[in-house]
Every structure is written in structure tokens, then in C-alpha cells.
Structure 1
Amino acid sequence: MGNIFKQAKGIQGEKPGTEQDEVKLQNASKQIVQTAILRAVQQVSQESQQKEKRTNSSTSLQLERGKLTKKHEKK
């Protein structure tokens, strides 16, 4: 009977440590997910800004070409 009591006590003694480890793992997992989401959002934002710059640059070139064409037409 003494062994059974010691085993039960050992299991109870391990439980708080296991729960603490589980909480640590959950917190670490949450941090990893939050970091991944933040990086993904930043990447999408940067790509959108780059795409917008390319679009604006392309539009500017088209407008400039249009102005040059109109100038030549007037002469």
C-alpha cells in the first residue's frame, strides 16, 4: 500500500510542473503565431506598396508619353 501512495503522490507532484510546462508551451505557441501573422501582414503591406509604386510609375510614364505625343501632334 505504501508504494501506491508514493506513486499517487509522485503523480500529483508532477502535475503542477506539467501544467506549468503546458502553459509555457501555449504561450510560446501564441507568440510564434502572433509573430508569423505580423510578418505576413508586413510582407503583404510591403508588396502592396511596391505594386502601387510600380503602377504609379507606369501611369506616370504613360502620361509622359501621352504628353510627348500631343506636343508632337501640335507642331
Structure 2
Amino acid sequence: VMFAGSKPGSEPEEAKLQTTSRQIVQNAILRAVQQVSRESQSRRRDARAGDTARGSLRPGTGESTKKHEK
């Protein structure tokens, strides 16, 4: 694949860039999955303690106030 400004024979450079890009994306996905996993475990711990992270942020009973608007 040739791009504007690229020289013939730059395929090894391109392959190196693709490999590096792939590793960056894989690392970002791995970090995101680990973060979601940690947050999920934290929520489960909080729920077992009787205080869910989401529930503690909701005012009142946690019901939507829009339901009462007409």
C-alpha cells in the first residue's frame, strides 16, 4: 500500500507501524477491560455491604422524578 509521501520500499517501516499500532490498541483494550472488571468487583463488594455505589448517588428512593411530571 502506497501513501502520499511514502517511498517505495518503505513496507518494513509500515509493517513496524502496524505492529506498534496493534499493540497500542490491544493494550488500551486490556486496560479498559481490567478497569471495568475492577469497578464491577467494587460494586459487588459495595452491594454486599448494603451500600451500592449507584444507590448511594440517587436522591430519595432512586425513582425517576420525570415519571411524576405531566
Range into which the TM-score falls when normalised by the shorter chain: 0.5 to 0.7
The structure whose residues are more often helix, as a share, is 1
Structure 2 unaligned spans of 5+: 1-6, 52-70
Look at both structures and tell me which one has the larger radius of gyration over its CA atoms.
Answer: 1
TM-score when normalising by structure 2:
0.61
Root-mean-square deviation over aligned CA pairs = 1.2
Deviant stretches of 4+, over 4 Å: none
* Greater relative contact order (CA < 8 Å, ≥ 6 in sequence): 2
Q: How many residues align?
A: 45
TM-score between the two structures when normalised by the length of structure 1: 0.57
Q: Quick one: which of 12, 28, 31 aligns to 1:32?
A: 28
Question: Unaligned 5+ residue runs, structure 1?
Answer: 1-9, 56-75
Give the distance between the partners of 1:47 and 1:33, measured in 2 at CA: 21
Q: 1:22 aligns with which of 9, 18, 25?
A: 18
